[in-house]
Structure 1
Amino acid sequence: MSIQLNHTIVAARDKETSAKFLSGVLGVPVGPRFGPFVPVEMSNGVTLDFIDTGGEPITAQHYAFLVSENEFDAIFGRIREAGMAYYADPHHAQPQQINHRDGGRGVYFDDPNGHNLEILTRPYGSGPP
């Protein structure tokens, strides 16, 4: 068996709200609860398992999602329609812009817990087509 990432746990103030946020932006379903987790499954089988922190501070993490050009258009449309802030860079120094690294498109935005989310159409370092 090859080694694959199966899931990661995402800290949240409200796991249901956070899972629904990600689900709504990416256009993927929220899975059934599993123990204390609310999973959101990606098309490659990896799940982001949201869990409540019980009031403990949340350390912001970065989650990047490789998407097709059509998926980028749809997701970016939902981001803009919701009036969310977005950035061309992970440090949020280029507001209301997207990037074109490696001949693709990318954009960063925050989830309700301060996690830095990213959608990109080409893996970084892959160069222009």
Structure 2
Amino acid sequence: MDQFLGHWKLVKNDNFEAYLKAVNVSLLLRKVASRVTTYEEITQDIDHTCHLKLTSTFTTNTLTFKLGVPFKEITPSGHRMKTTITIEDDKWIQNQLADDPTAVDSKVTRRLLDMDNMIATYEAGDVVAYRTMTRHKS
């Protein structure tokens, strides 16, 4: 977990708008989300409670969780998910199971390319997207 802690800045999107379409995000939100720079802050408390704070020009969304323990998530697009985050083989795996009829199951896998670069792979159905991030000094 420690290797993922810190501040991250989005530097590149590949096929992200198609992923957003696959998870039923509206056209307007897809256009905005696929073009705006986002930041991720990953922290962990002494009791192993983790926080993933996603920030962009238009929204801030924070997930609070313990690794391996399912929790309820409301995505920035308003979909309800039952989410579990684990660390497996040096990868941060976020499984999102749809918890409402308009939501779609999704999986996000984050892995470090090196200590300052991370790639997140987004999967929904047969659509795969990639977001590349660099470690950012806040």
Same fold by TM (over 0.5)?
no
Q: TM-score range by the shorter chain?
A: 0.3 to 0.5
Q: Whose strand proportion is higher, 1 or 2? A: 2
Bigger RCO (CA 8 Å, 6+ sep): 2
Q: Tell me which structure has the larger Cα radius of gyration.
A: 1
Q: Whose helix proportion is higher, 1 or 2? A: 1
Using structure 2 for the length normalisation, give the TM-score.
0.31
